[in-house]
Amino acid sequence: KEGLKKTRDKMSSSVESMLNSFTTIDESLFEELEELLVMGDVGVSTAEHVCKELRRKVKEKGVTDPNEIMGMLQETVAEMLRGGEELHIGTKPSVILVIGVNGAGKTTTIGKIASRLTKDGKKVILGAADTFRAAAIEQLEVWAQRAGTEMIKQAEGSDPASVVFDTIAAAKARNADVMICDTAGRLHNKKNLMEELAKISRVIDRELPGADKEVLLVLDATTGQNAVNQAREFQAAAGITGIVLTKLDGTARGGVVLAIRESLGIPVKFIGVGEQVDDLQPFNADEFAEALFD
């Protein structure tokens, strides 16, 4: 919870002091609130939506006390974020494909998820399909050792889809519950990267038809609204099923979660709140909404 607390300090204190400066609820309160939400990375259209919802509730319930706005705001935000948080990894083996730009926290997140699932008694296999950087393979190997899971790799520069193919074969042979694949995140050749991700997806669909497949996009919360653009691009290439928002322990403003949910309809499944193996929390809409403004 430490990590979330810092996020909370950002928007909450400003919203709170703004609300305290009002004695009655009027239009300028909503205007100021909208502005604060935009500054908190919620995004313009989402901030408008939130305030519209709030106005409606205030009217419907006949609320006149500005002090009641905070609770209503949290409730509204939680409603927007709720649903779809859980991982669907029932079939054996099921697949978690992890995508995102370099530096977002993919490798770290894979390590954390692998460790989590292993602790839950699941047999996990990792696939080092970011073959573009040797360092990426080595780094994932460290996490694999830490989590006590096997990792499938090929030489640097080999075909990522081929690594995924090998990982599927290994997962089947070892009777693994879940395979988690890393992918490249270089942005300088986007078209190429998106084609690579599409090819990996085709291999999975062909080799494991009907398998549960999560495509998790890892986003660095400190990139703010940029994260929304990244999500949009990856969504087109890879059909994202969930978001992992990392670095919420830093100076990040978690408001971007709302913008992503609102504009792309993708649920957040996990949040990263530090660099250590246990610094990954399943996303909880109510807790998150509360933490944003409490």
Determine whether the annotation assigns residue 124 to a binding site.
Answer: no
DSSP bridge partners of 217: 99, 243
Comparison of 58 and 240: residue with beta carbon closer to ligand GDP: 240
Selected range binding ligand GDP among 27-35, 67-75, 118-126, 245-253, rule: CB under 6 A: 245-253
Among 8, 49, 213, 247, binds ligand GDP (CB under 6 A): 247
57 is in an annotated binding site: no
Kindly identify the residues of this chain, within the stretch 205-244, that bind ligand GDP according to CB under 6 A.
218
- Residues of span 147-186 touching ligand GDP by CB under 6 A: 185
Looking at residue 115, its amino acid is: S
Give the shortest CB-193-to-ligand GDP separation in angstroms. 13
Question: Least CB distance from residue 265 to ligand GDP, whole Å?
Answer: 24
The residue among 84 and 274 lying less far from ligand GDP, judged by its C-beta, is 274
CB of 278 to ligand GDP, least distance (A): 11
Residue closer to ligand GDP (CB basis): 95 or 128:
128
Residue 113 Cβ vs ligand GDP, minimum distance, rounded to whole Å: 12
List binders of ligand GDP among 71-130 (CB under 6 A): 100, 102-108
Only one of the segments 22-30, 121-129, 203-211, 246-254 lies at the binding site for ligand GDP (rule: CB under 6 A); that segment is: 246-254
The answer to whether the beta carbons of residues 33 and 16 sit under 8 Å apart is no
- Nearer Cβ to ligand GDP, position 177 or 249? 249
224 is annotated as contributing to ligand binding? no
| Near ligand GDP by CB under 6 A: residue from 266, 273, 291, 292 | 273
Of 14 and 107, the one with the shorter C-beta distance to ligand GDP is: 107
Query: What does the alpha-carbon distance between residue 214 and residue 99 come to, in Å, rounded to a whole number?
Result: 11
Nearer Cβ to ligand GDP (270/293): 270
Q: What angle do CA 27, 28, 33 make, to 5 degrees?
A: 100
Q: Please give the residue ranges that form the binding site for ligand GDP (CB under 6 A).
A: 100, 102-108, 185, 218, 246-247, 249-250, 272-275, 279
Mark the binding-site residues for GTP, compressed into ranges: 100-107, 182-186, 246-249
